[in-house]
Structure 1
Amino acid sequence: MSLRRLLTRHRTSLSLLLQSRNLSHISPSYHHPSRFNPSSVAIPTSSSTHFLNDRRRGFAKGRKSKDDDAASATQVVEDIGPVIKSTASSQMEAALEALSRELMKLRTGRASTGMLDHIIVETSGVKMNLNRIAMVTIIDSKTLSIMPYDPETIKEIEKAIVSSPLGLNPKSDGQRLIAAVPPLTKEHMQAMCKVVAKSSEDVKQSVRRARQKALDTIKKAGYPKDSAKKFEKEIDELTKKFVKSAEDMCKAKEKEISSA
């Protein structure tokens, strides 16, 4: 073999070796010399490089910092404040309404349409509140009228009223029942005042429980210190308002009982 042919062969082998190394990142089909097509290889340009760098910078700018996350969390906490306050107010209002119903059940020596609302009448095997099957009206300060919607239920209504602890003994005139409200004895007045005092204490405890639930929710929500104090103050003011309303209702009832 001549020296010229030997050098030519070595140059070809060296060229192929360099090409295979430069194209190692391309699909294996390009490693074979016979399949290699230089025009199919995409060489990154400077503009492409700049585009990638811009995309990286844009992505970095779009990332949220820890401060942004903290601010978003704070905003969420602040948004639930009115909900906590509204829930506490609803619970306290419900306690006050329950107190009002209980006080209306008490006989004070004066006729009241609400004093018969809690009486349960059983008719045709069904139990219902008296005010759903009859209309109760006041004839005078000492007399009640009970007009059944269905005249056939008048005997059942009379039986239910007599069986109640109100001490009423209604009389029928054929169409309706007439119930005279007897005067209270001293012992009855004292007993009623004790019931009022107990009801007052019960409703105040219910209001305070609603307050404590609201404060616990505020604490668990992770409020900032200043915001937490603000909402706690608002809840305390709400509590004082409902406690005072309960006390005023009970004092008015006690006065009504004592003056009967």
Structure 2
Amino acid sequence: MSDDFILDTEDLERRMQGAMTSLRTEFASLRTGRASATMLEPVTVEAYGQQTPINQVGTVNVPEPRMVTINVWDRSMVGAVEKAIMNSGLGINPQTNGTIIMLPIPELNEERRRELGRVAAQYAEHARVAIRNVRRDGMDQIKKGKDHMSEDDQKFWETEVQDMTNRFIKMVDEALEAKQAEIMQV
């Protein structure tokens, strides 16, 4: 192998891992009929003149499998938190009791399950595209460095990048399969 060219495979792997982490976060925000504190992560509240994540204006708890509660610290923020949840598209109607907002998680009907399955597939496709973009960057780096390496070295690096890409695409497919099974579970 040539000493002139070394591909930063750690950087490529870190970037592909970032796509997987992002996918897991997006999957966690999909409501599957079970309560989860992570389903509120994408929801932000207009608080003190700026958009703030819900977990920074109150304590999010999951006291039972079909209930999420938010104990809002500032009584004046209760209305804003309630409004943010209703406008979030989660399909949950908050119930307020003082500073505690209760979010009962309804059963999912078949149509909503299929719709969530399609959304999960879109999230997975975005992750695949991000991984392929990282692959393309790696291949571009190899092409730029081909004057400094033999054909065998070039083939070696291309195979390394492709193997890494295949491994991460497989991880995305497995995560999607698991999430769709969870969504369709009654």
Q: Normalising by structure 1, report the TM-score.
A: 0.67
Q: Which residue of 2 aligns with 1:238?
A: 164
What letter matches 1:232 in structure 2?
Answer: E
Offset at 1:127? 1.2
Which residue of 245, 248, 258 corresponds with 2:174? 248
Overall identity of the aligned pairs, in % = 30
For the residue of structure 1 that corresponds to 2:169, the secondary structure is: helix
Give the stretch that moved more between structures: 147-156 or 240-249: 147-156
Alignment of 1:1-150 (within 5 A): 74-77=2-5, 80-81=6-7, 83=8, 85-150=9-74
Tell me the matched-pair count: 184
Deviations 1:140-160 (A, max 9, x none): 110001122333312211111
Q: Greater helix percent: which structure?
A: 1
Q: How many Å apart are 1:123 and its aligned residue?
A: 2.0
Deviation at 1:161, TM superposition (A): 0.7
Which residue does 2:86 correspond to in 1? 162
**Structure 1 residue 113: deviation in Å?**
0.8
Q: Which runs of 5+ in 1 are unaligned?
A: 1-73
> Take 1:75 and 1:190, find their aligned partners in 2: how far apart are those partners?
53
Residue 246 of structure 1 deviates from its aligned partner by 0.9
Q: Distance in 2 between matches of 1:149 and 1:236?
A: 50
Secondary structure of 1:75's aligned partner: coil
Give CA-to-partner distance per residue, 1:45-102, whole Å, 9 cap, x none.
xxxxxxxxxxxxxxxxxxxxxxxxxxxxx4232xx32x2x122112211211221222
Deviates more, 1:141-150 or 1:178-187: 141-150
Q: Write the letter of the residue equivalent to 2:130.
A: S
Match for 1:185 among 92, 109, 124?
109
- The residue aligned with 2:126 is 202
What residue identity is the alignment partner of 2:3? Q
Which residue in the other structure is 1:37 paired with? none
Secondary structure class of the residue paired with 2:102: strand
- In structure 2, the gaps of 5 or more residues are none
Normalising by structure 2, we get a TM-score of 0.91
- Cα displacement (A) at 1:134: 2.0
For the aligned residue pairs, the C-alpha RMSD in angstroms reads: 1.7
Which structure exhibits the higher relative contact order, with contacts defined as CA atoms closer than 8 Å and separated by 6 or more residues? 2
C-alpha distance in 2 between matches for 1:119 and 1:202? 20
Moved more, 201-210 or 148-157: 148-157
Deviation at 1:175, TM superposition (A): 3.1
